[in-house]
Amino acid sequence: MKKSFYLATVLAAGIALQACNNQQSNQDSVDSAEAVNDSTLTNQQDDPAEFMVEAASGGMMEVELGKLAQANANHPRVKSFAQMMVNDHSAANTELMTLAQSKNITLPQTMGEDHQKMIDDLKNKKGVDFDKAYMNMMVDDHKDDVELFEEATTSKDVEVSAFAGKILPKLKIHLDSAQVIHDAVKQK
């Protein structure tokens, strides 16, 4: 009797552990990174970590959208802009990863659900419809990026502030370019 009770207890514990593992694997990568950072970092490190997690997710999205735009866009300026997104955001992502590692900050392995949804919204569009939707999204997204990075330039963490200050001018160029191209493709 004791043996069967013990076996049932072990089996129930295994099922419960498996359920927890499945729940964690379905969790948003951004949420997972934030949870790790919340449990391992001091309050002083928390604000830079939140910025870095958000920047990492957004940077991954920019690269993936850029690749998608190179395949689905029609307008040559949209394709050129998309290549700039892939190049610039890949470089920024690499620099961000190095900075995060030096600070023991966990970054998401994949983009967050909100960024993935932006990609999913564009996957089935092609040609002029894609151009308009992508450039509209790029204008909106880069407005948010500029705001996020401007705020990060005031971080008490000198290295995070310097990183944000270095990337911010490129983001402003991206926003200006996106607005000009958006206006050009909107009229077609």
Whether the per-residue pLDDT at 11 is higher than 80: the answer is no
Q: Which one has a higher pLDDT value, 88 or 20?
A: 88
Distances (CA, A) of 63 to 57, 67, 115: 10, 6, 11
pLDDT, average across residues 147-174: 96
Q: What is the pLDDT of residue 22?
A: 38
In three-state secondary structure terms, 73 is strand
The rounded distance, in Å, linking the Cα atoms of 109 and 8 is 37
Q: Please say whether the beta carbons of 109 and 29 come within 8 A.
A: yes
How many other C-beta atoms lie within 10 A of the C-beta of residue 51? 22
Tens-digit pLDDT profile for residues 29-61: 556 555 655 655 544 444 789 999 999 999 999
Dihedral of CA atoms 96, 175, 119, 131 in degrees, nearest 10, equals -150
Q: Supply the pTM of this predicted model.
A: 0.77
Q: What is the pLDDT of residue 145?
A: 96
Q: What is the pLDDT of residue 41?
A: 52
Tens-digit pLDDT profile for residues 56-99: 999 999 999 999 999 999 999 999 999 999 999 999 999 999 99
Q: Which one has a higher pLDDT value, 7 or 146?
A: 146
Q: Which residues contact 62 (CB under 8 A, 6 or more apart)?
A: 85, 86, 89, 141
Could you say which DSSP state residue 107 is in? -
pLDDT, average across residues 110-122: 93
Residue-averaged pLDDT of the chain: 83
Please report which helix (H) or strand (E) contains residue 102, including its range: helix 76-102
DSSP letter string over 10-36?
HHHHHHHHHHHHHHHHTS-HHHHHHHH
Q: Which one has a higher pLDDT value, 163 or 17?
A: 163
80-86: which pairs have CB atoms within 8 A and are 24 or more residues apart?
A: 81/135, 81/138, 81/177, 81/178, 81/181, 82/134, 84/174, 84/177, 85/138, 85/174, 86/62
The rounded distance, in Å, linking the Cα atoms of 77 and 69 is 11
Q: What is the pLDDT of residue 186?
A: 86
The whole-angstrom distance between residue 28's C-alpha and the CA centroid of its chain comes to 11
